Chains A and B, each alone.
Chain A
Amino acid sequence: MLTALGKTGKFTVLGIWFFFTVFPIYWMALTSVKPKREVNDLYYFPNEGATLDSYRVLFKDYAFGVFLRNSLVVSLVASFIVIGLGLLGAYALARYEFSGKRQVMLAFLATQMIPGLISLAPLYLLMQKLGLINSLIGLTLCYVGGMVPFATMMLRGFIQRIPPELDEAALIDGCNRFTALFRVVTPVALPGIAATFIFSFVQCWNELFLAMILIDSEGNKTFPVAMRSFIGGYWIEWGALSAAVMVGIIPTVIIFGLMSKFMISGLSAGIVKG
């Protein structure tokens, strides 16, 4: 009896939270398919007038394809570089004992205490010196710099779980440390690498303020920066905006949905940010 009640209570609570979590996204999806003249009408289920017009407006009138491509390129390239540099660093920290290692690890961890926002102005000035203002390359570099410390620590956690005998065997078979890392350790650490990659991708995809400051030409805007122009004026066109929000969250939702198992173990293993 008590357990039955407990069960009902448990699923009621889980159900309420589910509703609260999903409703805002449902509401945005619903708004995005309402016909233009009905955007302000408060009905709760799509009617027969449901249309993809808002999405058409988004890609035709606002040319959102370009912004999506920019975001995709920057996030993918940055995340690949982050994994490359992170794997090298993580391997050193997981497999070598050397003096000063403790200090190096502390320096990596200390970066997590530094609020990213304080770097905005200095990074602009730095990019200005390098001639990389309004450049997607400059933005990518900054993202790599921001993500590398966390990725290194996260990957180190995964590499440490792999028995060192594995790469020692590879060394005996004629590999050097470098080829051992890429031929032997990397394949085994692949789930961890995937988790780190997704984490990095999501962070880059969602980043707004740095992109906002570094990029000023229409053609180089990333997706969040382009979204900002929607709210710049007094009048907000909620139909197109909700379609844009849906387009902007779909990539991360899909990736996360496919990989949530990895992410949960990965994030909690590799400490905590985001």
Chain B
Amino acid sequence: MTATMYQPSRKRAASTTRMLKALAFLTPAAVMILVFVFYPVLRTVQLGFQNFNLFDQLNIGYNGLQNFRNLINDPNFGTVIKNTFLWVFVSVFFQFTIGFGLALLMKTKFKFIGIYQGLIFIPWALSGFLMGLVWKWIFDESFGVLNDALLKLGIIDSRIPWLSDARWGMAAVIIANVWYGVTFFVIMILAALQGVPKEMLEAAELDGANRFQTLFSVIIPYIRATLILIVLLRIMWITNFPDLIFGMTQGGPAGRTHIISSWLIEKLTLDADWGAASALGLMTMVILFVFTLFYLMATRLEKDSGV
């Protein structure tokens, strides 16, 4: 940043007019953000500690930690937390690994690479909810193409109850999520790979390093900070991505494929319990915040990136 080049003590008056001008440009955006982003956060904090049920509007008022107690004592709570961890970490693991592999394969240009990229990047632009419906149809037990193909190939000999059994259900939504999210990693990692200086790669080659040595001792260390950051951002994003599940299982059967964010949507819409939904949202924020701190400490990101 150029902040160090700027000396605030030079001319106070000039700096004030400059600030006013900058503020004039910034105000419209800032107002929108204050009203539509930061105010709702404050309101959520308030709602999280209130009895706020649309079916019980006469009794709206503060109820301390009751919403949080209710959530933790809910019989589904343990399943939801476990599912959230599975959903986030299994998805990110496969998205990252596949995305990294594909990015390496696409690093050197080949014929039709433009068309190829255009086509395989498509999932990024699609609605998670609509794609959830598509996958619901593919995973359908009786009429789904997946069971049909697996039967015809002789891989299974009886139909798998993909979406009516909780375990298969989690596997199904995670497969769909891997499909959905690989694109993001390919785009980001491809961009990072293109930033690795050619001289470094040539030098490694001159030193007699093979491809794996180049990958692990030159390329990965060079883009490490980017990798750490995009994995973190993706973990946060996937935690708050209920769209696919909402399309595929709606959390069913019996709430056994809910993750924390799809459960929040159910509290908000089906149960109309906005206090509980807000409390759940606050819990998510706190969990993600604590996770981020540990993650950054564990990866020592700031050391590498010099932030």
A-side interface residues toward B, CB under 8 Å? 10-11, 13-14, 17-18, 20-22, 24-25, 27-28, 31, 40, 42, 44, 85-86, 88-89, 91-93, 96-102, 104, 107-108, 111-123, 125-126, 141-142, 144-146, 148-149, 152, 177, 202, 205-206, 208-209, 212-213, 224, 227-228, 230-231, 238, 241-242, 245, 248-249, 252-253, 255-257, 260-261, 263-265, 267-269, 272-274
A121-B122 in contact (CB<8A):
no
Which parts of B89-125 form the interface with A (CB within 8 Å)? 98, 101-102, 105-106, 110, 114, 116-125
- Secondary structure class of chain A's binding surface, majority of residues: helix
A-B contact pairs, 19 of them (CB 8 A): A14-B116, A18-B116, A89-B30, A92-B22, A93-B26, A98-B18, A102-B3, A107-B33, A144-B36, A145-B33, A145-B36, A148-B29, A206-B126, A213-B269, A224-B127, A224-B130, A260-B121, A273-B233, A273-B237
- Secondary structure class of chain B's binding surface, majority of residues: helix
Nearest CB in chain B: distance from A241 CB, A? 6
A113 to B124, CA, bound (A): 20
Q: Does B268 sit at the interface, judged by CB under 8 A?
A: yes
A126 to B284, CA, bound (A): 22
B39-A122 in contact (CB<8A):
yes
A99 to B7, CA, bound (A): 10
The listed residue (B134, B148, B243, B277) touching A28 by CB distance below 8 A is B134
B125-A253 in contact (CB<8A):
yes
B36-A96 in contact (CB<8A):
no
B268-A89 in contact (CB<8A):
no
* Residues of B within 8 A of A (CB-CB), count: 96
B127-A208 in contact (CB<8A):
yes
**A249 nearest CB neighbor, chain B only:** B126
B124-A146 in contact (CB<8A):
no
**A7 nearest CB neighbor, chain B only:** B110
Stretch from B65-73, B75-83, B137-145 at the A interface: B137-145
A227 to B127, CA, bound (A): 11
Nearest CB in chain A: distance from B163 CB, A? 12
Stretch from B187-195, B199-207, B298-306 at the A interface: B187-195
